[in-house]
């Protein structure tokens, strides 16, 4: 198991501060981590974050990771499956939801007008139950 997340009781959040570009993401895709004890090397724990894509920003290659991912697009638009020039793909508008198991290639992603997503990342071993 992970180290455990803290008990937080309705903490005030600034949606203007505390954003950072995650490793491997292009400028203009930013995360605001709410809580985490995710250990990707040890394959334990979980992370809760916001991910925002600024208008016109896009990634160029699919993402793949070894943890589960649940994504709720709650503001804006997102294009899934664009090419390396940001062209094409399928557009979605809030509210939409995705749940991806480990090892699934997803993306690249783009947003024409900008978007914010709420994401949960976690390790889960169904075979251990």
Q: Dump pLDDT digits (tens) for 70-114.
A: 999 999 999 999 999 999 999 999 999 999 999 999 999 999 999
CA atoms of 46 and 1, how far apart (whole Å): 10
**Domain ranges (residues) in the chain:** 42-128
Rounded to 5°, the CA angle 95-40-82 comes to: 40
pLDDT tens per residue, range 14-67: 999 999 999 999 999 999 999 999 999 999 999 999 999 999 999 999 999 999
* CATH of 42-128 given 3.30.70.141, 3.40.50.150, 2.60.120.10, 3.40.50.300: 2.60.120.10
Tell which wins on pLDDT, 8 or 2.
Answer: 8
């Amino acid at each position: 198991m992970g180290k455990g997340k803290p008990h937080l009781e309705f903490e005030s959040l600034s949606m203007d501060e505390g954003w950072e570009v995650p490793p491997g993401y292009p400028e203009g895709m930013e995360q605001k981590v709410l809580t985490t004890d995710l250990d990707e090397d040890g394959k334990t724990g979980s992370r809760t974050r916001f991910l925002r894509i600024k208008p016109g920003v896009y990634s160029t290659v699919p993402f793949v990771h070894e943890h589960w991912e649940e994504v709720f697009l709650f503001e804006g638009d997102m294009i899934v499956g664009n090419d390396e020039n940001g062209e094409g793909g399928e557009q979605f508008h809030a509210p939409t939801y995705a749940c991806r198991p480990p090892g699934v290639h997803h993306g690249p992603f783009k947003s024409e007008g900008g978007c914010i997503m709420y994401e949960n990342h976690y390790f889960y071993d169904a075979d251990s139950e």
